[in-house]
Structure 1
């Protein structure tokens, strides 16, 4: 595997160069938002508890240079300031720094957690009206669960996502990626960018609010819309999907591949490749709506056809026919794949200690190359003085 920290220098300053972000966050949602803004050029000052720092520092193994690999993935390129916010002197110092230097505050403490230290949105914006202040919560600003703590797996359950994960008859499952934490970080970054854009015209900041629960509801938006239209709960389709057939994994003689014949034209081509052309003319399968209604009958026949050949031969034939398909790769295969390497998205931190996934966006053909190293706990406490910012 090859990685690069600055494979291609940016031809011009990054979009957020000169923007200062204070991240009063821990775990994943706020740090992920901070990582995005930092990769876009912002200086991100991460505020951690003097008593051990961000919980995610210990979320391993594996550990790299004294911190969990996960921590490196979402905290590289930041500065770390370790404080005890319950100490009035520390809270005052942070408040003063925000008023003097910050453009954005990200915070994901429990509801009201920053207010008791004089660091809440209304308190800080009264001192600095241009400040963009983003709350990242578990369940949102209102409602009976407003004060309920929440992590990604719990929110997956409460928002209904787990109810349609997995296959028929299988145990309930969660998406084994923290989609709500990361999605909430994405929505936070989008909201902050929109607020900064509006600030250019008005001069005023504002309060942006996002939450894991709202993010989860948005991920389930299509299923919710379908249910509200039909009154029918979403099914559990394993590798497949509710509204398109065939669009799932198929077992071959020596393994499993993914096939996505997403329209009638592609389905007919699939039948030709599998040497079962009569299926494309069968009224039960001739249209996608009909195929959805006769899913089990069709999928059984397609499985029988796929089992007659091996993965490589089917993938070659499907590719030649222009049918979307691919192997089900493991992570080691993904990082070594030529497509991954060609995108140059795996980047080493500037000190070479860790390798992370870079920002999945390019500007003018260049991916933002600001990776930075992962800070030690409290390494940049001096930044709360009047000294200029220093990017790690």
Structure 2
């Protein structure tokens, strides 16, 4: 079966995570992705490790399957000429240079659409192409700090904490995918390309969802609550006899069933706990009762009983435990790929399960510059040209 985006060519000149993660998703969906890398050093994440496998960094491998790699010196006139020719054959450019960088080099959106009027360019920056911070570099960690995310993450009596993954980059990659697919739909209807201005800061602020909404309603800055929820009780981490689990009771009916599983059904009829607003107000009394009861059994014993009762719950698993989970394996969220250097390369799978146009793992994360010569040949350059490009440090 064909991929949903088969026939779409993406020129990806982004590095690190947000852009490459976006283009990998589009590649999984069937798009052809050409990763254009610096002619001397390549994507920085190639050197981010350990761990490495046969010289390939785990960080680089996580976001670059279903792509081809070519090297190119975009500061040289010949390199710019090659890039323009490549863009003329494509549909989408994904880039995350600082605002104005490509324009100064003569290959910004307004300049490139002269060679490809239908071009869609996704420009990813830390703070956007407008505003007083537009010229500042944007790293995920900085965005987590400035967006307010860190101020609400961590224990109430501890320091602000970042999320355990580069969540601003990941969310920006996802939002960029949405923008690209929307622009493709518009182009299919009108023939018009466009530039997508997308900022890590904007994406992270938008992703504050209910926490931001709570503030906008009452003008009170949310505080860190550790693993508790600002609006729902009980909805947090608890200790079983052998480890930790999360219980997420979302409504009053669930609370009744939960208290029955705990062996204390009368709690649901106790006036201070009958409704969520009451439980929220009286959580300092309720939570210790629940904690004491949950310590009487193992987390798996509780999971069995809570699952039967329809109470959302789950043990806190390590990454190793997660990948051993039968559900993860059944959903093909652990996949193996052939790779020219790494035996049985293991990667996370795609969460996109399309019945008519399924995702495919067609191409291993490319070696540095693995496809430079074949792409140049496709563009019409002969072996003598390619030799000169190498001699002149164009590739």
Superposition TM-score, scaled by structure 2 size: 0.92
- Which runs of 5 or more residues in structure 1 are unaligned? 1-11
Shift in Å, 1:353? 4.7
Out of 374, 379, 382, the position equivalent to 2:370 is 379
Out of 129, 136, 146, the position equivalent to 1:141 is 129
- In structure 1, how many angstroms separate the alpha carbons of the residues matched to 2:370 and 2:5? 23
Out of 304, 317, 322, the position equivalent to 1:316 is 304
- Name the residue aligned to 1:261: 249
2:259 touches 2:265 (CA, 8 Å); kept in 1? yes
- Establish whether residue 102 from structure 1 lines up as the match of residue 93 from structure 2: no
- Name the residue aligned to 1:271: 259
- In structure 1, how many angstroms separate the alpha carbons of the residues matched to 2:379 and 2:25? 22
Out of 171, 181, 184, the position equivalent to 2:159 is 171
- Establish whether residue 131 from structure 1 lines up as the match of residue 119 from structure 2: yes
> What secondary structure sits across from 1:127 in the alignment?
coil
> What secondary structure sits across from 1:320 in the alignment?
helix
Pair 1:107–1:383, CA change in 2 (3 A): farther
- In structure 2, how many angstroms separate the alpha carbons of the residues matched to 1:275 and 1:235? 33
Out of 356, 359, 365, the position equivalent to 1:368 is 359
Shift in Å, 1:370? 2.7
- In structure 2, how many angstroms separate the alpha carbons of the residues matched to 1:363 and 1:253? 41
- Establish whether residue 36 from structure 1 lines up as the match of residue 34 from structure 2: no
> What secondary structure sits across from 2:271 in the alignment?
coil
- Establish whether residue 187 from structure 1 lines up as the match of residue 178 from structure 2: no
> What secondary structure sits across from 1:304 in the alignment?
helix
- Establish whether residue 74 from structure 1 lines up as the match of residue 63 from structure 2: yes
- Establish whether residue 334 from structure 1 lines up as the match of residue 325 from structure 2: no
1:48 touches 1:378 (CA, 8 Å); kept in 2? yes
Out of 53, 72, 78, the position equivalent to 1:89 is 78
Question: Larger deviation: 59-68 or 242-251?
Answer: 59-68
- Establish whether residue 237 from structure 1 lines up as the match of residue 225 from structure 2: yes
> What secondary structure sits across from 2:114 in the alignment?
helix
Higher relative contact order, chain-length normalized (CA < 8 Å, sep 6+): 1
Shift in Å, 1:365? 7.2
> What secondary structure sits across from 1:167 in the alignment?
coil
Shift in Å, 1:312? 2.8
Out of 40, 63, 70, the position equivalent to 2:52 is 63
2:350 touches 2:359 (CA, 8 Å); kept in 1? yes
- Establish whether residue 47 from structure 1 lines up as the match of residue 4 from structure 2: no
Shift in Å, 1:382? 2.1
Superposition TM-score, scaled by structure 1 size: 0.92
- In structure 2, how many angstroms separate the alpha carbons of the residues matched to 1:245 and 1:366? 41
Shift in Å, 1:316? 2.1
2:249 touches 2:255 (CA, 8 Å); kept in 1? yes
Shift in Å, 1:210? 1.1
- Name the residue aligned to 2:11: 22
1:93 touches 1:384 (CA, 8 Å); kept in 2? no
- In structure 1, how many angstroms separate the alpha carbons of the residues matched to 2:120 and 2:48? 30
Shift in Å, 1:388? 7.1
- In structure 1, how many angstroms separate the alpha carbons of the residues matched to 2:279 and 2:357? 43
1:33 touches 1:185 (CA, 8 Å); kept in 2? yes
Shift in Å, 1:120? 0.6
Pair 1:349–1:313, CA change in 2 (3 A): closer
CA deviations on 1:282-328 (whole Å, 9 max, x unpaired) are 22211111111122221111111112233232222212211111211
1:94 touches 1:384 (CA, 8 Å); kept in 2? no
- Give the CA RMSD over aligned residues: 1.6
- Name the residue aligned to 2:392: none
Shift in Å, 1:130? 0.4
Pair 1:320–1:83, CA change in 2 (3 A): same
- Name the residue aligned to 2:240: 252
> What secondary structure sits across from 2:101 in the alignment?
coil
2:84 touches 2:115 (CA, 8 Å); kept in 1? no
CA deviations on 1:25-56 (whole Å, 9 max, x unpaired) are 11101101110111111111111111211001
> What secondary structure sits across from 2:158 in the alignment?
coil
Shift in Å, 1:17? 0.8
- Name the residue aligned to 1:207: 195
- Name the residue aligned to 1:280: 268
1:188 touches 1:209 (CA, 8 Å); kept in 2? no
Out of 143, 146, 157, the position equivalent to 1:158 is 146
- Name the residue aligned to 2:346: 355
- Name the residue aligned to 2:105: 117
